[in-house]
Amino acid sequence: MGLTSTWLAILAIVLAAGGLTGSALWIWPRLSARTWPAVAGRVGVLAGTQALTLMALGLLVNNYFGFYGSWSDLLGTGSAPVPAVREVEAPDSAPRGVAPAPEEVNPGGRAHGIQVIRSANVYIPGKTHKSAGRLSEVMIPGAATGLSTLAYIYLPPQYFAKEYENTRFPVIVGLTGYPGDPRNLISRMNMPAVAARAIEEGRMPPTVLVLTRPTVAPPRDTECMDVPGGPQVESYFTRDLKRAVAGSLRVATTAAGWGVLGGSTGGYCALKLSMRHPEAYSAAVSLSGYFQSPVDATTGDLFGGSRRLRNENDLMWRLSHLPHPPVSVLVTTSRQGESNYLSTLRFLDAVRSPMRAASLILPSGGHNFTTWNRELPQALPWLARRLDARPHAPAPVPVPAPDSRRPRTTS
């Protein structure tokens, strides 16, 4: 039976219940003597019933959250090849009116820079004799929102080369899930080394990485939105962070040179930040992300009772009722092991031009770092190749605010 089989979960529950009942009513009374065999038997009964109970609970939790999709996924023995990224042909949508010109990241005025804590060289596994760039631990302040967050910035070796001294580099913002730890993007996903290898092999242009987490107002899960009367996280990622990085580094100044990638909650944030703010990010990758913000004990009231805000942060609602933004997105899922498989297919089917979508769908894989590590070597270069850091590169035209136009109707 498969790891996520309902019958396996039922069998585990029956065994756990049977073990507890049988040990209490039949086995335990027969082990009441004070002999070593009886003591060893009681220890064995306790260990066995606890193991069966933990197995049943583990299967139920795994089936609910989708951490592992198969036995090979759990044991790390899977060797199935990762399919190629599939570009989805998006039908044209109706023409839209002219929108305001895009804003640059750091247009004049005082720069609000990052604060470097420490730095170290990056090495590609197996090639430790040659530096493949620099990784710095930094604090990124938010001048307008008052928020700040710990992050890690990867600078490719080309950033320090003389022939690139007048070159601006594209930027990818990498986001963890909730609550997340930015170090996981290095220790668990090794994003700097994956980028360095792809750059060295010519599969990815030299790109700056800004690795952080969406939880910039801990412990609250804000789902990357400007909470009414609360932390303005959406503004932090679309304005403050970009201005701080551009005020300190030689990077792109328009949305054409900025992309965002995330897993789980970070995947939802990546899609939302690009779809709601094409003037800030022109492309996004969602690894096992979802499409509608949850509301629970970790989020609190995100919308202030506003149905309009709730709808605007529902990505499927946006695709059904609002003009599609001129951004490129890549979404990933697994046919077995991921709870977002069907919703991802619906999202891809709803995309219309000028928005562009691509998919990376694994045969099997759970909601975990193992799955994302399989997807990252394709997803990261895909995103970097869609960025253009030239100073006058065309940036996506921002979509007008929802209250300034009539919603698009569907038949």
Q: And the tokens for 405?
A: 């136009």
Q: Are residues 253 and 175 in the same domain?
A: yes
In a domain, 354, yes or no: yes
Tokens 């730095």 belong to 119
pLDDT of residue 296: 86
Q: What is the pLDDT of residues 39-65, one digit of tens each?
A: 676 676 667 777 767 766 765 665 544
Q: And the tokens for 161?
A: 């080369």
pLDDT of residue 33: 67
Q: Are residues 189 and 269 in the same domain?
A: yes
Mean pLDDT of all residues in 81-88: 61
- Closest by alpha carbon to 179, among 147, 229, 217, 144? 217
Q: Are residues 12 and 125 in the same domain?
A: no
Looking up residue 151, the CATH number of its domain turns out to be: 3.40.50.1820
Distance separating alpha carbons of residues 112 and 94, to the nearest angstrom? 40
Q: In sequence order, what are the beta bridge partners of 209?
A: 154, 172
Mean pLDDT of all residues in 324-331: 97
Confidence of residue 342 (pLDDT cuts 50, 70, 90): very high
What number of other Cβ atoms are within 10 A of residue 96's Cβ? 15
For helices 6-22 and 36-65, the axis angle rounded to 10 degrees is 150
Q: Are residues 58 and 155 in the same domain?
A: no
Q: Are residues 111 and 59 in the same domain?
A: no
Q: What angle do CA 325, 329, 331 make, to 5 degrees?
A: 135
pLDDT of residue 405: 35
- Closest by alpha carbon to 171, among 378, 389, 394? 389
In a domain, 72, yes or no: no
Confidence of residue 4 (pLDDT cuts 50, 70, 90): low
Whole-prediction pTM:
0.76
Mean pLDDT of all residues in 316-338: 95
In a domain, 81, yes or no: no
Distance separating alpha carbons of residues 176 and 69, to the nearest angstrom? 20
In a domain, 36, yes or no: yes
In a domain, 76, yes or no: no
Q: In sequence order, what are the beta bridge partners of 274?
A: none
More confident residue, 339 or 94: 339
In a domain, 80, yes or no: no
pLDDT of residue 316: 97
pLDDT of residue 127: 76
pLDDT of residue 113: 80
Collapsing DSSP to helix, strand or coil, 30 comes out as helix
Give Cα separations from 53 to 20, 46, 49, 317, 376 (angstroms). Answer: 9, 11, 6, 41, 35
In a domain, 78, yes or no: no
Distance separating alpha carbons of residues 9 and 334, to the nearest angstrom? 21
Q: Are residues 56 and 198 in the same domain?
A: no
How are strands ordered across the β-sheet holding 86-88? Answer: 86-88, 356-364, 328-336, 283-287, 258-263, 171-175, 208-212, 148-155, 127-141, 115-124
Query: What's the length of the chain?
Result: 411
Q: Are residues 34 and 180 in the same domain?
A: no
pLDDT of residue 185: 95
In a domain, 168, yes or no: yes
Domain that holds residue 19: 6-65
Confidence of residue 73 (pLDDT cuts 50, 70, 90): very low
Cβ neighbors of 340 (< 8 A, separation 6 or more) are 288, 289, 290, 291, 333
Distance separating alpha carbons of residues 409 and 411, to the nearest angstrom? 7
% of the chain exceeding 90 in pLDDT: 57
Q: Are residues 242 and 374 in the same domain?
A: yes
- Closest by alpha carbon to 379, among 261, 292, 240, 227? 261
- Closest by alpha carbon to 295, among 281, 279, 314? 314
Q: What is the pLDDT of residues 365-409, one digit of tens each?
A: 988 899 999 999 999 999 999 999 887 666 555 554 444 333 333
More confident residue, 162 or 54: 162
Cβ neighbors of 7 (< 8 A, separation 6 or more) are 1
Give Cα separations from 108 to 104, 115, 216 (angstroms). Answer: 9, 20, 26
Q: Are residues 59 and 132 in the same domain?
A: no
Q: What is the pLDDT of residues 6-28, one digit of tens each?
A: 666 676 677 667 666 766 666 65
Mean pLDDT of the chain: 82
| Per-residue pLDDT at 35 exceeds 80 | no
pLDDT of residue 408: 36
Q: Which amino acid is at 106?
A: N
Q: What is the pLDDT of residues 95-137, one digit of tens each?
A: 433 333 344 444 333 345 889 999 999 988 777 677 899 999 9
Q: Are residues 53 and 133 in the same domain?
A: no
What number of other Cβ atoms are within 10 A of residue 142's Cβ? 22
pLDDT of residue 190: 93
Q: How many domains does the chain have?
A: 2
Q: Are residues 41 and 154 in the same domain?
A: no
pLDDT of residue 40: 72
Q: Are residues 144 and 54 in the same domain?
A: no
